[in-house]
Structure formats: structure tokens, C-alpha cells
Amino acid sequence: MPQSGSHYEVLGRQSSSWTVQRVCDDKQSAIDSASSLFKELSLKAVKVLEVSYEGEEPGFKDKEVYFDGERNPPKIWQFRH
């Protein structure tokens, strides 16, 4: 039987896609890393996801616990009629 567990993923967005920048064991380290990476790498946005695995309902679940930067990425696609 799988055990329950969680970790924190720090994601950064430079243009329109998110990339995992770092994985941390605790929330505060992840938030500190996200804040530093946002400034150091001149990212458009950063976020921290708490990723957990629950044994009772198999599968990974994530929840955003921190965000900084542009909330909506620039629109790349334009549709013409």
C-alpha cells in the first residue's frame, strides 16, 4: 500500500509555459526559492505547488500555495474569422 507524502514544486514562467525550477521538502524553502528565482532569472511569474500523494485515493494532487508575477500569460494565438 502506497504511503501518503508531499513535496513542493517551484515553477517559473519565462514566456507562455511553466518549467519546474526546483523541488523542496518544506513550504517556506520553496517560497524563498521562488522569490529568489523570480528576481535572479527575470521570470514573468513563479508559483509554488504543494504536490501530495494520498494513498486512500490513489493519484497526485496539487494545490497552489504561492504566486508572484503576471497572472495571465500573453496571448500567442489570434483567431481570425
Backbone angles phi, psi at 30, to 5 degrees: -65, -45
In which band, very low, low, confident or very high, does the pLDDT at 5 lie, cut at 50, 70 and 90?
Answer: confident
Report d(CA 65, CA 81) in Å as an integer.
39
In which band, very low, low, confident or very high, does the pLDDT at 44 lie, cut at 50, 70 and 90?
Answer: very high
Torsion of CA 13, 18, 20, 24, to 10 degrees: 70
Which residues partner with 46 through β-bridges?
12, 68
pLDDT of amino acid 74: 58
User: H/E element holding 33?
Assistant: helix 27-40
Is the separation of the CB atoms in 44 and 15 below 8 Å? yes
Residue 48: is its pLDDT beyond 90? yes
Mean pLDDT of 8-19: 94
Residue 15: is its pLDDT beyond 80? yes
* Averaged pLDDT score across all residues of the chain: 87
